[in-house]
Structure 1
Amino acid sequence: MLVAFSVSPSVTDAEGGVTAAVADAVRVVRESGLPHRTDSMFTTIEGEWDECMAVVKACVDAVAARCPRVGLVLKADVRPGHSGELQGKLDRLEAQLDEG
């Protein structure tokens, strides 16, 4: 499965930023060993249901350590029997675009 999610504190730092708290969550993702990709809005991870949800929960916990209230946005693509889709979906899209 692919899980795209965003975790953010409801309270910002003195300058209105959330970078430090988000960095704590991204560290959790990187240490998980799951295939992942982070962009400016979401982090996407790939794995089995239980391992993905465990990483999402650990990310929420990491942000909650800095702030008493955490926002979570999550979207999942549940497709049993498929792996390598973090890149595979993009490769298929690019191939289709190349065909015109």
Structure 2
Amino acid sequence: MIVAFSVTPIGVGQHVGSAVADAVRVVRDSGLPYRTDAMFTSVEGDWDEVMDVVKRAVEAVQAHAARVSVVMKADLNEGVTDGLSSKVATVERLLAEGD
């Protein structure tokens, strides 16, 4: 599965980079494949390991704020591995064919 998620501390002002960095550090240290962009971090693995990483990332942000907002989107596609790369590669290939 792939889970795209965003964890944001509430009530700590506009500058949340430190809290977000702590959450991304949890994901990075998990050893699971992941990508981080300006809005979300996507992580790939089986249900239990991905959800554990998301939970620990939320806990890392809770160390900065008592209230936390979490947004998640999950793609469960049995038998698919390396979905983080293969999905993007498919779109890039299709775009190249159209040029």
Question: TM-score scaled to structure 1, two decimals?
Answer: 0.95
Task: State the partner residue of 1:49.
Answer: 47
Alpha-carbon offset, residue 66 of structure 1: 1.1
1:45 aligned counterpart, secondary structure: strand
Among residues 34, 37, 47, which one is paired with 2:35 in the alignment? Answer: 37
Distance in 1 separating the partners of 2:76 and 2:16: 29
Count of matched residue positions in the alignment of Structure 1 and Structure 2: 98
Distance in 2 separating the partners of 1:12 and 1:80: 39
Task: State the partner residue of 1:18.
Answer: 16
Distance in 1 separating the partners of 2:93 and 2:54: 31
| Structure 1: gaps of 5 or more residues | none
1:52 aligned counterpart, secondary structure: helix
Per-residue CA deviations over 1:46-97 (Å, capped at 9, x if unaligned) read 0000000000000000000111000000001100111011000000001111
Superposition RMSD in Å: 0.7
Distance in 2 separating the partners of 1:31 and 1:22: 14
Q: Which amino acid aligns with 1:93?
A: V
Alpha-carbon offset, residue 12 of structure 1: 2.1
Distance in 2 separating the partners of 1:49 and 1:73: 17
Alpha-carbon offset, residue 98 of structure 1: 1.0
Task: State the partner residue of 2:4.
Answer: 4
Counting aligned pairs with the same residue, the percent is: 55
Moved over 3 A (4+): none
Distance in 2 separating the partners of 1:90 and 1:57: 26
Distance in 2 separating the partners of 1:11 and 1:21: 12
Question: TM-score scaled to structure 2, two decimals?
Answer: 0.96
